[in-house]
A = this chain, B = another copy of it.
Amino acid sequence: MTATAVPLTNNQNGEGASVVSSPEETRPARPAGSSVDVRALLERGRTLCTPVLREAIGRLAPPMDRVSAYHFGWTDAEGRPTEGDGGKAVRPALALLSAQAAGVPAEIGIPGGVAVELVHNFSLLHDDLMDGDEQRRHRATVWTVFGPAQAILVGDAMFALANEVLLEAADKGGATGVDAGRAVQRLTLATRKLIDGQAQDLSFEHRDRVSVEECLEMEGNKTGALLAASASVGAVLAGIDDAGADALERYGYHLGLAFQAVDDLLGIWGATEVTGKPNFGDLRQRKKSLPVSAALAEGGKASVRLAELLADPQGRGDEDEEQLAVRAALIEEAGGRAWTAEEARRQHRTALAALDEVPMSAIVREQFAALAEFVVVRER
Protein backbone atom coordinates (compact mmCIF):
# COMPACT_ATOMS: atom_id res chain seq x y z
CA MET A 1 0.00 0.00 0.00
CA THR A 2 1.37 3.40 -0.88
CA ALA A 3 1.10 6.29 1.51
CA THR A 4 -1.07 9.21 0.58
CA ALA A 5 -0.26 12.83 1.15
CA VAL A 6 -2.19 14.43 3.93
CA PRO A 7 -4.17 16.99 1.95
CA LEU A 8 -2.83 20.00 3.77
CA THR A 9 -0.99 21.37 0.76
CA ASN A 10 -3.23 24.37 0.46
CA ASN A 11 -1.17 25.69 3.35
CA GLN A 12 -0.50 29.28 2.45
CA ASN A 13 1.89 30.52 5.09
CA GLY A 14 4.38 27.71 5.15
CA GLU A 15 3.66 26.88 8.80
CA GLY A 16 3.03 23.42 10.08
CA ALA A 17 5.39 21.74 7.64
CA SER A 18 5.49 18.74 9.94
CA VAL A 19 1.99 17.67 9.00
CA VAL A 20 2.56 18.10 5.28
CA SER A 21 4.03 15.28 3.28
CA SER A 22 4.63 15.24 -0.46
CA PRO A 23 2.63 12.73 -2.51
CA GLU A 24 5.79 10.79 -3.33
CA GLU A 25 7.09 10.01 0.14
CA THR A 26 5.98 7.09 2.24
CA ARG A 27 5.18 7.53 5.91
CA PRO A 28 8.44 8.58 7.52
CA ALA A 29 9.64 6.20 10.22
CA ARG A 30 12.25 8.82 11.08
CA PRO A 31 10.89 12.33 10.52
CA ALA A 32 13.32 14.80 9.01
CA GLY A 33 15.64 16.20 11.68
CA SER A 34 14.77 13.46 14.18
CA SER A 35 16.75 10.37 15.02
CA VAL A 36 13.72 8.66 16.56
CA ASP A 37 12.69 5.30 15.11
CA VAL A 38 8.90 5.48 15.53
CA ARG A 39 8.35 1.94 14.29
CA ALA A 40 10.65 0.65 17.03
CA LEU A 41 8.70 2.67 19.63
CA LEU A 42 5.42 1.17 18.43
CA GLU A 43 6.96 -2.29 18.29
CA ARG A 44 8.17 -1.93 21.89
CA GLY A 45 4.65 -1.02 22.98
CA ARG A 46 3.24 -4.11 21.30
CA THR A 47 6.02 -6.44 22.52
CA LEU A 48 5.74 -5.38 26.16
CA CYS A 49 1.96 -4.99 26.40
CA THR A 50 0.55 -7.80 24.27
CA PRO A 51 1.53 -10.70 26.59
CA VAL A 52 -0.12 -8.93 29.55
CA LEU A 53 -3.16 -8.14 27.41
CA ARG A 54 -3.42 -11.78 26.33
CA GLU A 55 -3.13 -12.99 29.91
CA ALA A 56 -5.91 -10.61 30.98
CA ILE A 57 -8.17 -11.68 28.10
CA GLY A 58 -7.52 -15.29 29.09
CA ARG A 59 -9.38 -14.63 32.37
CA LEU A 60 -12.71 -14.09 30.58
CA ALA A 61 -15.35 -16.82 30.71
CA PRO A 62 -15.92 -18.63 27.39
CA PRO A 63 -16.83 -17.65 24.75
CA MET A 64 -15.73 -14.10 25.63
CA ASP A 65 -12.04 -15.07 25.52
CA ARG A 66 -12.47 -16.45 22.01
CA VAL A 67 -14.50 -13.48 20.81
CA SER A 68 -11.83 -11.11 22.16
CA ALA A 69 -9.04 -13.04 20.42
CA TYR A 70 -10.93 -12.66 17.15
CA HIS A 71 -11.49 -8.96 17.74
CA PHE A 72 -7.79 -8.32 18.41
CA GLY A 73 -6.89 -10.21 15.24
CA TRP A 74 -5.09 -13.03 17.08
CA THR A 75 -7.43 -15.69 15.67
CA ASP A 76 -9.99 -16.10 12.91
CA ALA A 77 -13.70 -16.66 13.58
CA GLU A 78 -13.07 -20.40 14.10
CA GLY A 79 -10.38 -19.76 16.69
CA ARG A 80 -7.38 -20.61 14.47
CA PRO A 81 -4.30 -18.41 15.10
CA THR A 82 -3.77 -15.70 12.49
CA GLU A 83 -1.02 -13.26 11.65
CA GLY A 84 -3.02 -10.18 12.50
CA ASP A 85 -1.23 -6.86 12.84
CA GLY A 86 -3.51 -5.79 15.69
CA GLY A 87 -3.46 -2.15 14.67
CA LYS A 88 -0.79 0.53 15.14
CA ALA A 89 -0.91 0.37 18.95
CA VAL A 90 -0.12 4.06 19.41
CA ARG A 91 -1.78 4.12 22.83
CA PRO A 92 0.45 1.50 24.49
CA ALA A 93 3.53 3.21 23.00
CA LEU A 94 2.41 6.51 24.55
CA ALA A 95 1.76 4.86 27.91
CA LEU A 96 5.26 3.39 28.09
CA LEU A 97 6.80 6.70 27.05
CA SER A 98 4.83 8.54 29.72
CA ALA A 99 6.40 6.33 32.40
CA GLN A 100 9.81 7.38 31.09
CA ALA A 101 8.68 11.02 31.15
CA ALA A 102 8.31 10.58 34.92
CA GLY A 103 11.84 9.20 35.11
CA VAL A 104 11.05 5.49 35.60
CA PRO A 105 11.60 2.55 33.22
CA ALA A 106 9.08 2.10 30.41
CA GLU A 107 7.99 -1.22 31.94
CA ILE A 108 6.23 0.61 34.81
CA GLY A 109 3.78 1.86 32.18
CA ILE A 110 2.77 -1.62 30.96
CA PRO A 111 -0.44 -1.95 33.04
CA GLY A 112 -1.37 1.52 31.80
CA GLY A 113 -0.73 0.55 28.17
CA VAL A 114 -2.84 -2.56 28.53
CA ALA A 115 -5.63 -0.62 30.27
CA VAL A 116 -5.93 2.08 27.59
CA GLU A 117 -5.85 -0.55 24.85
CA LEU A 118 -8.68 -2.40 26.63
CA VAL A 119 -10.77 0.76 26.96
CA HIS A 120 -10.11 1.63 23.31
CA ASN A 121 -11.27 -1.79 22.17
CA PHE A 122 -14.28 -1.76 24.52
CA SER A 123 -15.39 1.42 22.74
CA LEU A 124 -14.74 -0.07 19.28
CA LEU A 125 -16.86 -3.13 20.07
CA HIS A 126 -19.80 -1.05 21.30
CA ASP A 127 -19.49 1.74 18.72
CA ASP A 128 -19.36 -0.70 15.78
CA LEU A 129 -22.63 -2.21 17.01
CA MET A 130 -24.31 1.15 17.68
CA ASP A 131 -23.19 2.54 14.32
CA GLY A 132 -24.01 -0.66 12.44
CA ASP A 133 -20.46 -0.86 11.05
CA GLU A 134 -19.79 -4.25 9.49
CA GLN A 135 -16.05 -3.90 8.84
CA ARG A 136 -13.11 -2.96 11.07
CA ARG A 137 -9.45 -3.31 10.03
CA HIS A 138 -10.61 -5.13 6.86
CA ARG A 139 -12.37 -7.84 8.89
CA ALA A 140 -15.99 -8.49 9.80
CA THR A 141 -16.87 -6.79 13.12
CA VAL A 142 -17.60 -8.88 16.21
CA TRP A 143 -21.35 -8.19 16.25
CA THR A 144 -21.70 -9.44 12.67
CA VAL A 145 -19.77 -12.66 13.42
CA PHE A 146 -20.82 -13.52 16.99
CA GLY A 147 -24.01 -11.48 17.38
CA PRO A 148 -24.89 -8.23 19.21
CA ALA A 149 -25.01 -9.83 22.68
CA GLN A 150 -21.36 -10.91 22.49
CA ALA A 151 -20.28 -7.47 21.27
CA ILE A 152 -22.01 -5.86 24.27
CA LEU A 153 -20.78 -8.43 26.78
CA VAL A 154 -17.15 -8.58 25.63
CA GLY A 155 -16.99 -4.78 25.52
CA ASP A 156 -18.27 -4.64 29.10
CA ALA A 157 -15.72 -7.24 30.15
CA MET A 158 -12.83 -5.32 28.55
CA PHE A 159 -13.89 -2.13 30.33
CA ALA A 160 -13.86 -3.96 33.68
CA LEU A 161 -10.54 -5.67 32.86
CA ALA A 162 -8.93 -2.27 32.20
CA ASN A 163 -9.48 -1.20 35.80
CA GLU A 164 -8.59 -4.65 37.09
CA VAL A 165 -5.19 -4.56 35.34
CA LEU A 166 -4.44 -1.02 36.51
CA LEU A 167 -5.26 -1.80 40.13
CA GLU A 168 -3.11 -4.93 40.05
CA ALA A 169 -0.15 -2.65 39.39
CA ALA A 170 -0.37 -1.78 43.08
CA ASP A 171 -0.61 -5.42 44.20
CA LYS A 172 2.42 -6.30 42.08
CA GLY A 173 4.51 -3.43 43.41
CA GLY A 174 4.69 -1.43 40.18
CA ALA A 175 2.79 1.47 41.74
CA THR A 176 1.50 2.59 45.13
CA GLY A 177 -2.16 1.96 45.90
CA VAL A 178 -2.81 5.69 45.79
CA ASP A 179 -1.19 6.11 42.36
CA ALA A 180 -3.04 3.10 40.93
CA GLY A 181 -6.27 4.70 42.22
CA ARG A 182 -5.31 8.02 40.59
CA ALA A 183 -4.66 6.20 37.32
CA VAL A 184 -8.08 4.53 37.46
CA GLN A 185 -9.71 7.86 38.27
CA ARG A 186 -8.14 9.60 35.26
CA LEU A 187 -8.92 6.67 32.97
CA THR A 188 -12.51 6.60 34.24
CA LEU A 189 -12.99 10.29 33.47
CA ALA A 190 -11.49 9.76 30.01
CA THR A 191 -13.86 6.85 29.43
CA ARG A 192 -16.83 8.96 30.45
CA LYS A 193 -15.75 11.57 27.90
CA LEU A 194 -15.42 8.82 25.29
CA ILE A 195 -19.02 7.80 26.03
CA ASP A 196 -20.19 11.45 26.00
CA GLY A 197 -18.49 11.84 22.61
CA GLN A 198 -20.28 8.83 21.17
CA ALA A 199 -23.61 10.17 22.55
CA GLN A 200 -22.91 13.52 20.86
CA ASP A 201 -21.89 11.82 17.61
CA LEU A 202 -25.14 9.82 17.58
CA SER A 203 -27.22 12.92 18.33
CA PHE A 204 -25.54 14.82 15.46
CA GLU A 205 -27.00 12.28 13.03
CA HIS A 206 -30.44 13.77 13.62
CA ARG A 207 -29.34 17.34 12.86
CA ASP A 208 -28.69 19.27 9.66
CA ARG A 209 -25.79 21.29 11.03
CA VAL A 210 -23.40 21.32 13.95
CA SER A 211 -21.27 24.25 15.09
CA VAL A 212 -17.47 24.10 14.91
CA GLU A 213 -17.37 24.25 18.71
CA GLU A 214 -19.77 21.30 19.04
CA CYS A 215 -17.75 19.35 16.50
CA LEU A 216 -14.47 20.06 18.33
CA GLU A 217 -16.02 19.09 21.66
CA MET A 218 -17.32 15.81 20.24
CA GLU A 219 -13.98 14.98 18.63
CA GLY A 220 -12.07 15.93 21.77
CA ASN A 221 -14.28 13.54 23.74
CA LYS A 222 -14.21 10.71 21.21
CA THR A 223 -10.52 10.84 20.30
CA GLY A 224 -8.69 13.32 22.50
CA ALA A 225 -9.68 12.04 25.93
CA LEU A 226 -8.29 8.50 25.60
CA LEU A 227 -5.08 9.69 23.92
CA ALA A 228 -4.76 12.10 26.87
CA ALA A 229 -5.08 9.19 29.30
CA SER A 230 -2.63 7.14 27.22
CA ALA A 231 0.01 9.87 27.29
CA SER A 232 -0.21 10.26 31.07
CA VAL A 233 -1.14 6.90 32.59
CA GLY A 234 2.41 5.57 32.87
CA ALA A 235 3.56 8.78 34.56
CA VAL A 236 0.60 8.66 36.97
CA LEU A 237 1.49 5.07 37.93
CA ALA A 238 5.03 6.36 38.54
CA GLY A 239 3.71 9.04 40.92
CA ILE A 240 4.01 12.20 38.80
CA ASP A 241 2.23 15.19 40.39
CA ASP A 242 -1.15 16.37 39.12
CA ALA A 243 0.31 19.34 37.21
CA GLY A 244 2.64 17.03 35.29
CA ALA A 245 -0.16 14.56 34.59
CA ASP A 246 -2.40 17.40 33.40
CA ALA A 247 0.29 18.66 30.99
CA LEU A 248 0.82 15.16 29.54
CA GLU A 249 -2.95 14.85 29.16
CA ARG A 250 -3.01 18.14 27.24
CA TYR A 251 -0.35 16.79 24.87
CA GLY A 252 -2.50 13.71 24.20
CA TYR A 253 -5.76 15.63 23.99
CA HIS A 254 -4.55 18.11 21.38
CA LEU A 255 -2.76 15.33 19.52
CA GLY A 256 -6.14 13.62 19.31
CA LEU A 257 -7.75 16.76 17.93
CA ALA A 258 -4.96 17.16 15.34
CA PHE A 259 -5.42 13.52 14.33
CA GLN A 260 -9.16 14.00 14.04
CA ALA A 261 -8.84 17.15 11.90
CA VAL A 262 -6.59 15.24 9.48
CA ASP A 263 -9.01 12.32 9.59
CA ASP A 264 -11.86 14.64 8.66
CA LEU A 265 -9.87 15.94 5.67
CA LEU A 266 -9.04 12.41 4.56
CA GLY A 267 -12.69 11.46 5.00
CA ILE A 268 -13.55 13.81 2.15
CA TRP A 269 -10.43 14.31 0.02
CA GLY A 270 -8.47 11.15 0.87
CA ALA A 271 -7.96 9.01 -2.24
CA THR A 272 -9.62 5.62 -2.60
CA GLU A 273 -7.27 2.69 -2.96
CA VAL A 274 -8.88 1.60 -6.22
CA THR A 275 -9.40 4.81 -8.17
CA GLY A 276 -6.90 7.15 -6.53
CA LYS A 277 -9.68 9.78 -6.64
CA PRO A 278 -11.16 11.59 -3.61
CA ASN A 279 -13.48 9.18 -1.79
CA PHE A 280 -16.03 11.71 -0.44
CA GLY A 281 -16.91 8.99 2.10
CA ASP A 282 -17.87 11.35 4.95
CA LEU A 283 -20.02 13.41 2.56
CA ARG A 284 -21.84 10.28 1.43
CA GLN A 285 -22.58 9.46 5.09
CA ARG A 286 -23.49 13.13 5.77
CA LYS A 287 -21.00 13.12 8.65
CA LYS A 288 -20.87 16.36 10.64
CA SER A 289 -17.11 16.82 10.33
CA LEU A 290 -14.90 19.87 10.86
CA PRO A 291 -14.58 20.92 7.18
CA VAL A 292 -18.37 20.89 6.83
CA SER A 293 -19.00 22.75 10.10
CA ALA A 294 -16.35 25.35 9.29
CA ALA A 295 -17.72 25.85 5.77
CA LEU A 296 -21.28 26.25 7.08
CA ALA A 297 -20.09 28.79 9.65
CA GLU A 298 -18.35 30.98 7.04
CA GLY A 299 -21.63 32.43 5.74
CA GLY A 300 -20.56 33.43 2.20
CA LYS A 301 -22.21 32.41 -1.06
CA ALA A 302 -20.70 28.92 -1.24
CA SER A 303 -21.51 28.37 2.45
CA VAL A 304 -25.17 29.27 1.95
CA ARG A 305 -25.45 27.03 -1.12
CA LEU A 306 -23.89 24.14 0.81
CA ALA A 307 -26.39 24.64 3.63
CA GLU A 308 -29.26 24.52 1.12
CA LEU A 309 -27.98 21.27 -0.38
CA LEU A 310 -27.52 19.65 3.04
CA ALA A 311 -30.98 20.73 4.22
CA ASP A 312 -32.70 19.44 1.07
CA PRO A 313 -34.54 16.22 1.97
CA GLN A 314 -34.70 15.21 -1.74
CA GLY A 315 -32.36 12.41 -2.75
CA ARG A 316 -30.87 12.26 0.74
CA GLY A 317 -28.36 9.43 1.08
CA ASP A 318 -28.62 8.82 -2.63
CA GLU A 319 -26.19 11.45 -3.97
CA ASP A 320 -24.03 10.47 -6.95
CA GLU A 321 -20.29 11.18 -7.35
CA GLU A 322 -20.95 14.41 -9.19
CA GLN A 323 -23.26 15.80 -6.50
CA LEU A 324 -20.71 14.86 -3.82
CA ALA A 325 -17.94 16.56 -5.82
CA VAL A 326 -20.06 19.74 -5.95
CA ARG A 327 -20.40 19.68 -2.18
CA ALA A 328 -16.68 19.09 -1.69
CA ALA A 329 -15.95 22.05 -3.96
CA LEU A 330 -18.37 24.28 -2.01
CA ILE A 331 -16.73 23.27 1.28
CA GLU A 332 -13.34 24.16 -0.18
CA GLU A 333 -14.65 27.46 -1.61
CA ALA A 334 -16.14 28.39 1.78
CA GLY A 335 -12.74 27.78 3.38
CA GLY A 336 -13.66 24.60 5.25
CA ARG A 337 -10.69 22.65 3.90
CA ALA A 338 -8.11 25.34 4.58
CA TRP A 339 -9.51 26.06 8.05
CA THR A 340 -9.39 22.39 9.04
CA ALA A 341 -5.83 22.01 7.73
CA GLU A 342 -4.78 25.04 9.75
CA GLU A 343 -6.65 23.67 12.78
CA ALA A 344 -4.67 20.42 12.51
CA ARG A 345 -1.44 22.44 12.59
CA ARG A 346 -2.67 24.54 15.53
CA GLN A 347 -3.63 21.46 17.56
CA HIS A 348 -0.31 19.80 16.70
CA ARG A 349 1.61 22.87 17.91
CA THR A 350 -0.48 23.04 21.11
CA ALA A 351 0.27 19.37 21.78
CA LEU A 352 4.02 19.91 21.42
CA ALA A 353 3.90 23.05 23.60
CA ALA A 354 2.33 21.04 26.45
CA LEU A 355 5.42 18.81 26.52
CA ASP A 356 7.51 21.84 27.54
CA GLU A 357 5.60 22.06 30.84
CA VAL A 358 6.92 18.69 32.03
CA PRO A 359 10.56 18.20 32.99
CA MET A 360 11.74 15.12 31.06
CA SER A 361 14.84 13.94 29.25
CA ALA A 362 15.49 15.38 25.79
CA ILE A 363 15.30 11.89 24.29
CA VAL A 364 11.84 11.17 25.71
CA ARG A 365 10.61 14.59 24.58
CA GLU A 366 11.90 13.91 21.06
CA GLN A 367 10.16 10.52 21.07
CA PHE A 368 6.85 12.13 22.11
CA ALA A 369 7.27 14.65 19.27
CA ALA A 370 8.07 11.91 16.75
CA LEU A 371 5.00 9.90 17.82
CA ALA A 372 2.90 13.05 17.41
CA GLU A 373 4.18 13.53 13.88
CA PHE A 374 3.53 9.87 13.11
CA VAL A 375 -0.06 10.17 14.34
CA VAL A 376 -0.76 13.38 12.42
CA VAL A 377 0.96 12.52 9.12
CA ARG A 378 -1.38 9.86 7.88
CA GLU A 379 -1.88 7.21 5.33
CA ARG A 380 -5.37 7.12 3.95
Contacts and interface: CB of A to CB of B under 8 A. Distances in A.
A160 B195 contact: yes
Interface stretch (A60-68, A83-91, A244-252, A300-308): A60-68
Contacts of A126: 152-153, 156
Contact of A180 (B153, B181, B191): B181
A287 to B, nearest CB: 16
Contact of A161 (B64, B192, B198): B192
Interface in A168-205: 170, 177-178, 180-182, 184-185, 188-189, 191-192, 195-196, 198-200, 202-203
A344 B111 CA distance: 41
How many copies of the polypeptide does the oligomer hold? Answer: 2
Interface string A49-77: 00000000001111110000000000000
Nearest to A130: B149
Interface residues of A, number: 42
A200 B63 CA distance: 9
A199 B62 CA distance: 7
Contacts of A157: 192, 195-196, 199
A181 B177 CA distance: 7
A340 interface: no
A116 to B, nearest CB: 14
Given A60-B199, A156-B159, A177-B182, 17 more contacts: A60-B196, A62-B199, A126-B153, A130-B148, A130-B152, A153-B195, A156-B156, A156-B195, A157-B195, A157-B199, A159-B160, A160-B192, A160-B195, A164-B185, A164-B192, A167-B185, A181-B184
The 10 lowest CB-CB distance pairs between A and B, nearest first, are A181-B181, A61-B196, A177-B178, A130-B149, A167-B185, A163-B188, A160-B192, A61-B199, A157-B195, A160-B191
29 contacts: A59-B192, A60-B199, A61-B196, A62-B203, A63-B203, A64-B196, A126-B152, A126-B153, A129-B148, A130-B148, A130-B149, A130-B152, A149-B202, A153-B195, A156-B159, A159-B160, A160-B191, A163-B163, A163-B184, A163-B188, A164-B185, A164-B192, A167-B181, A167-B184, A167-B188, A177-B178, A180-B181, A181-B184, A184-B184
